[in-house]
A and B are shown apart, each in its own frame.
Chain A
Amino acid sequence: MKKEMICIVCPVGCHLEIDENLKVQNNKCKRGEVYAKKEILNPTRMLTSTVRINSKHQARVSVKTTDAIPKQSMFKIMEMLDDVALEVPVNLGDVVIKNVLDTGIDIVVTMSLKA
């Protein structure tokens, strides 16, 4: 089965095709091949979201993964974030979940909020 995807490595945006033997077509350069293979074998994404906080000014504080996590774990991590409740003060970079799902990647706060 062939799979189609758009390469996002550069603005050309080639419409790639990759088959079950990982043969990539329609890529204008080598980077497209690398991209397509990674998208099939080990697609990863940065995840940004928010968690609860008891600040006077806002109900949520923003968080992110420190690196790209496996794409299929996005919803699982969203669920884990539902259970997090922080208290002010928080500082940019504070770790919310360490080594999330054993990926070696942390979830950190992306804004500082005073008490």
Chain B
Amino acid sequence: MYDVVVIGGGAAGLAAIHSAYDPTLKLLLIEREKTLGGILKQCIHNGFGLHHYKEELTGPEYAERGILSVKDLSFETMLDTTVADVEKKSDIFHITIMNTELGEAVIQAKTVILSTGCYERTRGAIQLPGTRPKGIMPAGSAQRYLNIDGYLVGKKVFILGSGDIGLIMARRMRLEGAEVLGVAEIMPYSNGLTRNIVQCLHDFDIPLYLSHTITDIKGIETLEAITISEVDTHFQPIAGTEKTFEVDTLLLSVGLIPDIKMFDSLKFDVSSLTNGAIVDQRYQTSIPGLFACGNALHVHDLVDFVTEESEKAGRFAKDYVLKTKAEKRQLITIDPGDKVRYVLPQYLDITQNFDETVLSLRATESALRGTFNIHQGETLIHSKKARFVAPAEMERLVLKRSDLVSEAPLKVSFEVGT
């Protein structure tokens, strides 16, 4: 029986096992791939680690730091091993794993940390019009083919979605010799960093079509052409604005979703706002002993915060195993209010000792200046001014235990302006 099993060996899993480590505990890290590091291994560009390591690293370098940090700790690692199912029976987790050596096997654990990352939305999730030829794929898959397998998926490329992954891939494919004809974004603004707009698009004269979406796809076997149209304020295509591009590849960069499908049998509460587990400030899900962190919990834009959050999840999982008596939870809710899309954690367990806890949230609007407010019942208990707020960037508020004035629910809202 393991004390702590961490599922997924990316940035989140590495940080979680690092802080869950205790010489008296039996720990296991399970990773589907043959090496640790997760998505970072294919993100060969620069821009990671400015907060956590105070220097700018590439994705693989950040991953390697994480791997090095756990090198001297004695815990078990199973690589090339996929978790197919997790069940909880009379307080024990039963984890079904599959690998070439054991075939299918079941292992047992007292606590489990889910750090399985996220997956990319595909064509089905956004309902593209037209035919269904080959050559349409998520941008992250193309990134993996190119950066790990050395295979350029196309020569004439168009990209739908202007998030950072799409922008990074536009530059990457251009540098590798592909022609990138443009990037279309349905919103009137890009969700990508300005630095990426400048250095991935402007540097290579790649046009960005804001308020545009794809309205036709042509090609029977393989992709031949796509048509984009401008959209109105209700996101409806405007007739007469069509532009057609002959391309062999369409990359989709249209969103990431926490990858927790394989844990359906656990039936923990899932948030419709984050598509990840609902957790308290210890990153514990609705199932005692089950923790979640990283992109499997909510999609992060900065790996540094994945590391920070997952270190905490690991530490709380360790405390959970080491504690001697059963505990009761008393949860108060933390809800998103005006102009806030989601807040995490969704619950505060007030039976727990804590001095302060970090709330992660996303605003629904961009603003140069604004104020985040936390109300408990009717009372304003915390305010923080913020600059350069954008929906694509996660915001963080520090809530102190001493801020609390009652046991009423909390609500976090955003006010645009001074």
Binding site for B on A (CB under 8 A): 5-6, 8, 11-13, 45-50, 52, 57-60, 62, 64, 71, 74-75, 78, 92, 110-112
B residues whose Cβ falls under 8 Å from a Cβ of A:
34-35, 41, 44-46, 58-61, 63-64, 146-151, 175-176, 194-195, 197-199, 202-203, 368, 387-388
Give A114's nearest chain B residue, CB to CB: B35
Given contacts A8-B194, A111-B64, contact A58 B148 (CB under 8 A): yes
Count of chain A to chain B residue pairs whose CB atoms are closer than 8 Å in the complex: 72
11 CB-based A-B contacts, threshold 8 Å: A6-B197, A11-B194, A48-B45, A48-B58, A58-B150, A59-B150, A60-B150, A64-B46, A64-B58, A92-B64, A110-B61
A3 to chain B, nearest CB (A): 11
Known: A49-B175, A110-B61. A62 touches B147 (CB 8 A): yes
CB-based contact A48/B194 at 8 Å: no
Roughly how many angstroms separate A97 CA and B198 CA in the complex, as a whole number? 27
Residues in chain A near residue B175, CB distance under 8 A = 47, 49, 74-75, 78
Bound-state Cα–Cα, A71 to B46, Å: 16
Docked pose: A8 CA to B34 CA in angstroms: 38
CA distance A48 to B46 in the complex (A): 7
Which residues of A sit under 8 angstroms from B198, Cβ to Cβ?
5-6, 8
- Choose among B34, B64, B147, B149 the residue that contacts A112 (Cβ–Cβ < 8 A): B64
Q: Is the CB of B60 within 8 A of A110?
A: yes
Partner of B44, one of A12, A49, A52, A112: A49
Residues of A within 8 A of B387 (CB): 11
Q: How far is the CA of A71 from the CA of B176 in the complex (A)?
A: 16
List chain A residues, Cβ under 8 A from B195. 8
Q: Which residue from chain A places its CB closest to the CB of B389 in the assembled complex?
A: A11
Measured between C-beta atoms, what is the minimum distance from B46 to chain A in Å?
5
CB distance from B10 to the nearest CB of A (A): 14
Contacts of B148 in A (CB 8 A): 58-60
6 shortest interchain CB distances as A-B pairs:
A59-B150, A111-B60, A11-B388, A62-B44, A60-B150, A13-B194
What CA separation (Å) do A107 and B362 show in the bound complex? 38
Q: Complex: how many Å from CA A5 to CA B265? A: 53
- Specify which chain A residues have a CB less than 8 angstroms from the CB of B151 in the assembled complex: 59
Task: Give the residue name and chain of the A residue nearest to B67 (CB).
Answer: A112
Please report the C-alpha to C-alpha distance between residue A46 and residue B202 in the assembled complex, in whole angstroms: 15
Contact B149 A48 (CB under 8 A): no
The residue on B at minimum CB distance from A56 is B34
A6-B197, A64-B58 known; A50-B150 Cβ under 8 A? yes
A77 and chain B: residue at smallest CB distance:
B175
Residues in chain B near residue A11, CB distance under 8 A: 194, 387-388
Contacts of A57 in B (CB 8 A): 34-35
Q: Are A45 and B197 in contact (CB under 8 A)?
A: no
Contact A110 B35 (CB under 8 A): no
Contacts of B44 in A (CB 8 A): 48-50, 62, 64, 110
Across-interface contacts of B388 in A (CB, < 8 A): 11-12
Residue of A nearest to B58 (CB): A110
Given contacts A8-B199, A78-B175, A78-B176, 13 further A-B contacts (CB under 8 A): A6-B194, A8-B194, A47-B175, A50-B146, A50-B147, A50-B150, A59-B148, A60-B147, A71-B203, A74-B175, A110-B58, A111-B41, A111-B60
